[in-house]
Chains A and B, each alone.
Chain A
Amino acid sequence: MTLSQSVTQKSSLAQARYIISENSITFGAFLLFFVFILLALFGNAIAPYDPIASNAAVALSPPSVDHWFGTDDLGRDVLSRVLVATRLDLGIAVVAVALSFALGSILGTCSGYFGGWCDRIISRIIDTLMAFPLFILAMGLVAALGNTVENIIYATAVINLPLYTRVVRAEILVRRDAGYVEAARLAGNGHLRIMAAHLFPNVLPVMMVHISLNMGWAILNAAGLSFIGLGVRPPTPEWGIMVAEGATYIISGEWWLAIFPGAVLMLAVFCFNLLGDGLRDLIDPRMRT
């Protein structure tokens, strides 16, 4: 190893250490995020018990060495159910956020870039969606479309749509007449190419912050919908429905049924919110509140 190599290596290590120590909370949130990804991928494999196998002999037993999170009214292992549920809960949120991000980006870019009638129509549609309390709009959508997991995803995507459309529109609007866009236009690029290759990539950093903050909200919404009995059907393990099933037992003191899935749900949302806050501080310190 030459001297210069070791110096660059050392300085990049030092820099990494500096960045981590300056943003320790964000780094912690990132580690937690990584854990949740692992759980979503391998939750089924590391779950100690079958999440839907009932065992009446151990029904409603409190947390113990055998069952870390206790067992529910049918004797199912709460820990296994919480682990396995990670994939479904995160999956619903990821797909919903991806859908609304994609559609919102297209609508917002067109609206901000073209302005005029296109902008007016899109803005009017978004305003109409915003006229509803969003969770209630989601309830109405699931009621009308049918009570399935796919429709939970669509409903969550629709209620997130205004956020993405508005943010993208505002970001495109301030860049629309920037010098590099003029240059691209003069160089003979078409509208589509300017929007997709020149404008949109510049919006992405800001969008990352919103996606992260929005993921937490999407998880909360999806879990809330399944808490009131929409979408996910028993015995499928899902955090919201597990809290709902455990709710009956909390007044008689069997707290572990509802508290563990609820706490993990909270942790997941908290993780995304911290991550979003941290990203925001890194990307755009002016937005810091």
Chain B
Amino acid sequence: MSRPSTLSVVIRRIIAAIPSILGVIIVTFILTRALPGDPAAYFAGPAATQEAIDQIRETLGLNRSLPEQFIIYVGELLRGDLGNSLTTGQTVLSDLLTRLPASLELTLAGLLFSLTLALPLGILAATRPGSWLDHGVRVLATAGVSLPTFFTGLLLIYVFYFRLGIAPAPLGRLAILYSSPDQITGLFLVDSLLAGDFETFQAAFGQLILPAVTLGLFALAPLTRVTRASMLSVLSSDFIRTARASGLAPSMILFGYAFRNALLPVVTTLGVVFSFLLGANVLVEKVFAWPGIGSYAVSALIASDYAAVQGFVLTMALLYVVLNLLIDLLYTVIDPRAGVES
């Protein structure tokens, strides 16, 4: 049996993501058409005449059949047209694009934080099952999923900003004193480093710590749990026993043999973790006044700015599909067998 090349596996994975994307577009289309009341009257504004409403219905294509409307909708999406935001007066696409880096920086920092904590904790707990450390990790994992993100965030603000005074005011990505670094990637930490501006880097880092920790704590629980469980099952398998019997160093067995194999379930869990993270992102951004797409969507929701909300939902869903695709690809890289079975 010949093994398919990595490239063909990659291509097959990308093709497999297409139905998800189509599904996402259909659902967002249904959500647009399910708007309460008459969308045309809504987009025309409260002071519009009947004539103006009819005209908008014409331009929006609302007087046509649903399949026709769907084709128009897909056409608009392909041109990158998500409509205009009523609150900012800009196109939704440009609004989202300017705010997306802030959300990405926060999400990635949160993920990084929880991974650097979850992997060692999970491994430690797995190597000492039944110890106080194992129990501690178990309690931590259950407590972690029970924490409402918005509550953790406020608690951290209270302790580290109000009580201890060591955290900066929870108001966005940079204190007013600093100007944002020249945009290259949009991630302030990376941009300020590229510009060699360490003062700004420090300031941006200070602002980022609390929201990233809040977000990371939420993802910590599932990641620690899976790391522990999969390390436990790998450590009790035959090839580890063989490695031990052959007299390999314990660290070699743990990291060279066990950890790499235990990593697969962890990577799979990342998909679920991202679903959590992207959702929790919205809450964290609201708590820390973080100027990302989550807080944009919240203010749009409150102002009944539907085009902006739907643009946001679509962006997040597409982002999630892409992230899942990347996770799949990562899986193929770690375990070349993964592509063969499916």
Chain A contact residues, CB within 8 Å of chain B: 124, 127-129, 131-137, 139-147, 216-217, 220, 223-224, 227-230, 240, 243-244, 246-247, 250-253, 255, 258-259, 262-263, 265-266, 269-270, 273-274, 277, 289
Contacts and interface: CB of A to CB of B under 8 A. Distances in A.
B279 A274 contact: no
Given A139-B297, A270-B142, A273-B146, A133 B278 contact: yes
Contacts of B306: 143-144
A167 to B, nearest CB: 14
Question: Which size bracket describes the interface of B in this complex?
Answer: 35 or more
- In this complex, which of A131, A265, A266 has the most chain B Cβ atoms within 10 angstroms of its Cβ? A131
Chain B residues touching A, majority SS:
helix
A144 B32 contact: yes
Contact of B162 (A230, A253, A262): A253
Contacts of B312: 136
Nearest to B319: A133
A255 B301 contact: no
Contacts of B228: 289
A240 B154 CA distance: 12
B50 to A, nearest CB: 24
Contact of A273 (B21, B26, B145, B149): B145
A146 B36 contact: yes
B96 to A, nearest CB: 13
A250 B297 CA distance: 23
B286 interface: yes
A229 B298 contact: yes
Interface string B304-340: 0010011011001100110010000000000000000
A50 B2 CA distance: 74
Contact of A265 (B21, B27, B148, B316): B148
Contacts of B261: none
B55 interface: no
Contacts of B276: 133, 135
Interface string B1-42: 000000000000000000111011011100110111000000
26 contacts: A127-B23, A128-B20, A128-B26, A129-B27, A131-B23, A132-B27, A133-B316, A134-B275, A134-B279, A135-B282, A136-B279, A137-B27, A139-B309, A142-B301, A144-B31, A144-B36, A220-B148, A227-B150, A228-B283, A229-B301, A247-B154, A251-B170, A253-B162, A258-B151, A269-B146, A269-B147
A259 B313 contact: no
Contacts of B301: 139, 142-143, 147, 228-230
A273 B316 contact: no
A144 B276 CA distance: 22
Nearest to A230: B301
B234 interface: no
Contacts of B309: 139-140, 143
Given A124-B19, A262-B150, A269-B146, 19 more contacts: A131-B23, A132-B317, A133-B276, A135-B278, A139-B282, A139-B309, A140-B310, A140-B313, A144-B35, A145-B36, A146-B36, A147-B301, A228-B282, A246-B154, A250-B162, A255-B162, A258-B151, A262-B148, A269-B147
